[in-house]
Structure 1
């Protein structure tokens, strides 16, 4: 037996239920990575305008942001496992219909169908996402190690999914990619159906009306200063730093060094994410949010290398640093939320987190282009590097955040 206070061993993590959940998440993340490639290949190959790809991806993100709060309430009422299985079923149907349409319809499906099925997939994601947070502590005895392992897997699948989709689309077309995507949701749904969660069922907790529970989640959210403090900072951070960084990085690298270099840098970013997850497997800081905030200084390395137009090697260092920084922060943040928030409110509180982050990221990406045209993309990134340091300093300076200790 491990000594008192020591983390459980490796074998204790890989229980039957954790293996099922790990398989479900790994396969689903692999499938999610295929979708942008499939939509791009399918729509452009059918002669649709380039803007249709953006609209299709927006049709997915809009319902996710709009319904994720309701997904949190439903997960608390009907168990996260049940909602995740339903979500996978919805996404399996949507991907299957798109697969058939791209394979058999001459010229591809009409745009309204693509947008509608993308929106259906977004609703599925909204039902699925809140349950992830509360499932981990109910199947793993070492929450941080579980989050780190899942984070490493997510990073690897984020690289493998698009690469696989590109090969399949090149040989057999977008319909085959969507067929493979549908299969991943089927595997995920079966694994989650077989999952058994520790703890009481949803019926064990007294429930009010739907909107009363939504309001109850907001009260739980406001009652924890460290929680709403981080998310408040993160909304500003997403609008001013993270949101603009993604599209401006793509534009500057592609225009300055070519699309091949951009793809290679994204692979380096994924490798950094793997390294950050592996680091989170080893380090167990007493103040996880402080350690995660300090790691976010790696974001400034990436933004400075782009804003100063440094050579490709320096850009690679920056992308590795930002990948590792975010992976480490996400493990520290997820573990803190999952161990400090009571299980009966965890799904709803996680939903508030997801909703706020998505809305501000989307707004930041939308505003990046006009602001960059007005003042220059390099200046936007350099200002973002400075604001990133300010955000880290604020996270460390707020006592409720920087001094919050591990459970």
Structure 2
């Protein structure tokens, strides 16, 4: 990873991404907390969060041709700069407006749906094939490490300074990120423009390419169901912590749940640091499928054990192996897709994974409600193992 950071352009991209994530962690806490405290409505807070999901899953694919048409440096810059403006709208005009909160959340989601695929398309251009896993790990590392360390700090900042200050800090972070991106060299689009197909023809062409390309069809086909069953761990742990470990004590359950989340996040950070070691020893397809198998087994075992200690270990293993299969999967797509289609493919990847995770969260709530939290983990782990088995049987296409 240190070797990859010696690449000046990639180092600038990493620094920009890190600064942006610092503010985003504050925003992710501040906006739903503010919405809930002002309205005393969990539904309103959920609407604000759902708006951002909607933008990424629905609007994102409609904007997917942009990284294949325009300079990616400019797209990333404007994504960050306009995000700074969007967040600043909250303390300036929208602090008492539910419609304003939803609008800003939707706008942030749209801008991220432009910026994130652009980042994924430039990484293979900035680093060599042998450094791709390390580069992808570094792009993901700020989010995971800040989730582990900064989410708690962000909560304290929101509590001490208030939502107004939190939103201004977030706006400044987006602005600083945009300024760092200005120092990148130009990154023109790899395609030849819209041609005769037009913009909407490019949208349709991107979808056809995802379905016809053997690498994208394989990776997304395996990961979508795995993400759905794996996302059960996003909604079931608080129920498991309260009902099984805390005996119904909500306060004690919250403490157990905090340690469980920290265990998963710690495993994820360690996994990102270990990815390059794993992919140098094993092939990317083997790391991808092997990581899925271990993840599924660990998720299943959480439902078997009623002791808190082993569950913490299994959650750490899940966090670790989550990165062991996600990073090689991203690299396989980047290497197996023609550059002129990569923006549209990465947007589709984000939309499908986000949609699968959202379905999995709802599935986890249903299973925990009607079958119990332990059974939910057993079913989830079995689903991930079934997806991995499908991938083994089908065989990974050559990249």
Would you say same fold, with TM above 0.5? yes
Which deviates more from structure 2 when the two are superposed, residues 36-45 or residues 388-397? 36-45
* Partner deviation per Cα, 1:159-203 (whole Å, 9 max, x = no partner): 2331221121121112221111111211221122221156x5457
Aligned equivalents of 2:207, 2:108: Cα separation in 1:
26
Secondary structure in 2 aligned to 1:310? coil
Distance of aligned partners of 1:229 and 1:281 in 2 relative to their CA distance in 1, 3 Å threshold: closer
Structure 2 gap ranges (5+): 247-252
Distance of aligned partners of 1:147 and 1:50 in 2 relative to their CA distance in 1, 3 Å threshold: same
In structure 1, the partner of 2:259 is: 264
Superposed, 1:245-324 pairs within 5 Å as 245-255=233-243, 256-257=245-246, 258-283=253-278, 284-285=280-281, 287-324=283-320
* Structure 1 residue corresponding to 2:157, chosen from 157, 168, 193: 168
- Structure 1-normalised TM-score? 0.88
Secondary structure in 2 aligned to 1:271? helix
* Partner deviation per Cα, 1:245-285 (whole Å, 9 max, x = no partner): 31112322244442122122212212111211111122325
In structure 2, the partner of 1:78 is: 70
In structure 1, the partner of 2:115 is: 128
Superposed, 1:333-344 pairs within 5 Å as 333-344=329-340
Instruction: Give the total of aligned pairs.
Output: 388
Q: 8 Å contact 1:68–1:129 — kept in the other structure?
A: no
Secondary structure in 2 aligned to 1:72? coil
RMSD: 2.3
In structure 2, the partner of 1:66 is: 58
In structure 1, the partner of 2:124 is: 137
Shift of 1:51: 2.3
Aligned equivalents of 2:4, 2:112: Cα separation in 1:
30
Shift of 1:286: 5.3
Structure 1 gap ranges (5+): 1-8, 103-107
Aligned equivalents of 1:35, 1:309: Cα separation in 2:
36
* Structure 2 residue corresponding to 1:363, chosen from 359, 362, 366: 359
Aligned equivalents of 1:101, 1:165: Cα separation in 2:
23
Secondary structure in 2 aligned to 1:370? helix
Matched, 1:55 2:47: yes
In structure 1, the partner of 2:371 is: 375
- Structure 2-normalised TM-score? 0.90
Aligned equivalents of 1:285, 1:344: Cα separation in 2:
31
Secondary structure in 2 aligned to 1:209? helix
Secondary structure in 1 aligned to 2:236? helix
Q: 8 Å contact 1:133–1:350 — kept in the other structure?
A: yes
Aligned equivalents of 1:40, 1:349: Cα separation in 2:
31
In structure 2, the partner of 1:210 is: 199
Aligned equivalents of 1:78, 1:308: Cα separation in 2:
51
Distance of aligned partners of 1:217 and 1:40 in 2 relative to their CA distance in 1, 3 Å threshold: closer
Aligned equivalents of 1:379, 1:12: Cα separation in 2:
43
Shift of 1:17: 0.8
